Amino acid sequence: MFFLKELPTRQMLETYSERYPGMNAEAVAEALRLLRRGSLLMRELDAYFTGHTLSQTRFLVMIVIDRELERKSLLASEIADRLDISRPVVTETVKALSQAGLLSSIPDPEDGRAKRITLTPNGQAVLASLLPGYFAIIADFMARPADRTG
Amino acid sequence: MFFLKELPTRQMLETYSERYPGMNAEAVAEALRLLRRGSLLMRELDAYFTGHTLSQTRFLVMIVIDRELERKSLLASEIADRLDISRPVVTETVKALSQAGLLSSIPDPEDGRAKRITLTPNGQAVLASLLPGYFAIIADFMARPADRTG
DNA sequence: TTCATATAGTTAGCATCCTAATCATAGGAG
DNA sequence: CTCCTATGATTAGGATGCTAACTATATGAA
């Protein structure tokens, strides 16, 4: 998260730019807007999931399983790959979601080390119930002018 | 952080769009690109600061003090406001930076509750030494095409 | 002056993420 | 078959963020 509220003014960046000749003031300004805007959207989504006893990561874990077309299950390592998060986080997230009855994991019959993780019917229902609100937050956020996003 | 690696294809979003009529597929696609790109840049910056015994937040705390034009010091609450982070985080960050000799905080003579936090000369030097690399990472990142950012 | 309320900062406790180390199974070279 | 290495998953420990509750000081109304 990057929440610098008042981004540097153009003039401040020019000043830095004189001190640090290699720097590209326009690229920096654009990057800071990107970071700020992304963080604000993330904060809104986090609040949404927290309000539903979930988290961004737990939601995304369910999403990547749900969106598999030819398979019903993923291995923990596959989830970690698709989400670009560390494996311990997957372990912990799957444990929590399983306890909540949203996922189930069964030993892989073809690989004694692996577990196949699937959405339970309840998990599918919860995911389906969350998506409209998720899309609504995004649509609302993207419709706001960038400088009014915060 | 939001690290969904393979963003949904246009077709998948269309499919969701049929299931969830309120959703704006284009806005969602753009939002996901924003989140992914922002997260990747943040990850690169985090790695940079970690490699210099710092963190994004510690760096930003120094930045907002440094960029005050008319004042040399800020209160913890002012830092929290400018960075949009919680006060306990400021407390902890200032403590760590003070122990590292980069900040100093003295009791405010006009308000017995407050502390005035300033950059030490060493803090200014460290900040100055970090900025070129910081700007270089940003410039490099922004120069890469968006679909090759990861 | 006195008390209620607001504000500055800290502490405590929780959530979430990471890396490094560990355990168990797979799979291939010999 | 046996051993070495690779891979799936977990555990342990640390960093960083948050909210809620607390302490101390300030401020203003009665």
Distance CA B120, CA B94 (A): 12
Both A62 and A136 in one domain: the answer is: yes
Q: Please, which positions of strand C sit below 7 A from a protein CB?
A: 7-13, 15-20, 24-27
On whether both B2 and B66 belong to a single domain, the answer is no
Residue A150 pLDDT greater than 60, yes or no: no
In a domain, A106, yes or no: yes
How many whole angstroms separate alpha carbon B14 and alpha carbon A147?
29
Final residue of a structural domain among B11, B30, B51: B51
Contact of A89 with chain B, judged by CB distance below 8 Å, is answered with: no
A75 phi/psi in degrees, rounded to 5: -85, 160
Residue A60 in any domain: the answer is: yes
Burial of B88 (0-12, 13-18, 19+ CB in 10 A): exposed
Residues A88 and A144 in one domain: yes
Report pLDDT digits (tens) over A108-120: 999 999 999 999 9
Based on the domain organization, do B32 and B57 belong to the same domain? no
> What's the longest Cα–Cα distance across chain A?
64
Contact predicate A89/A77, CB 8 Å: no
In terms of DSSP bridges, do strands B103-107 and B115-119 run parallel, antiparallel, or are they unpaired? antiparallel
Residues B92 and B144 in one domain: yes
Query: Given an 8 Å threshold on Cβ–Cβ distance, is B41 in contact with A31?
Result: yes
Contact between chains at B67 and A12 (C-beta distance less than 8 A): yes
B51, B72, B93 - which closes a domain: B51
In eight-state DSSP terms, residue A107 is E
DSSP letter assigned to residue B148? G
The yes-or-no verdict on residue B134 having pLDDT over 70 is: yes
- The answer on A110 and A69 residing in a single domain is yes
User: Does the pLDDT value for residue A139 go beyond 80?
Assistant: yes
In this prediction, what percent of chain B has a pLDDT beyond 90? 73
Give domain status of residue A73, yes or no: yes
Domain assignment present for A64: yes
- pLDDT tens profile A73-92: 999 999 999 999 999 999 99
Residues B135, B70 share a domain: yes
For residue A16, the tally of other CB atoms under 10 A from its CB is: 16
Integer Cα distance of B134 and A3 in angstroms: 17
**DSSP state at residue B9:** P
Compute the distance between CA of residue B118 and CA of residue A13 in angstroms, rounded to an integer: 21
Residue A103: CB less than 7 A from any atom in strand D: no
CATH number at residue A112: 1.10.10.10
Q: Is the CB of B75 under 7 A from strand C?
A: yes
A140 touches strand D (CB under 7 A): no
Q: Measuring CA to CA, which residue among B140, B10, B121, B24 is closest to residue A23?
A: B140
- The domain tally of chain A equals 2
Task: Judge: B132–A20 Cβ closer than 8 Å, yes or no.
Answer: yes
Q: Tell how far CA B16 is from the center of its chain.
A: 33
Q: What is the domain range of residue A139?
A: 52-148
Q: Which tens digit of pLDDT belongs to each residue from A25-39?
A: 888 889 999 999 999
Could you give phi then psi for residue B128, rounded to 5 degrees? Answer: -60, -35
Same domain, A57 and A85: yes
Residue A92 sits at the chain B interface (C-beta within 8 Å): no
Which one of B27, B41, B60 has the shortest CB-CB distance to A142?
B27
- Taking the C-alpha atoms of residue B113 and residue A126, their distance in angstroms, rounded to an integer, is 47
Note whether residue A86 is domain-resident.
Answer: yes
Same domain? A72 vs A143: yes
**Which residues lie across from B106 on neighbouring strands?**
B116
Please calculate the CA angle A49-A50-A54 and round it to the nearest 5 degrees. Answer: 60
- Least CB–CB distance from B84: residue in A3, A8, A138: A3
Residue A22 and residue A61 share a domain: no
Residues 70-129 of B with CB under 7 A from strand D: 85-89, 92-93, 96, 111-113
Is the same domain home to B83 and B146? Answer: yes
Give pLDDT tens digits for B13-53: 887 788 887 788 888 999 999 999 999 999 999 999 999 99
Q: If you measure CA to CA, which chain B residue comes closest to A82?
A: B5
Q: What percent of chain B has pLDDT over 70?
A: 97
Q: Encode A100-123: b = buried (16+ Cβ within 10 Å), e = exposed.
A: eebbbbeeeeeeeeebbbbbeeeb
In a domain, A135, yes or no: yes
Tell whether B28 and B68 lie within a shared domain. Answer: no
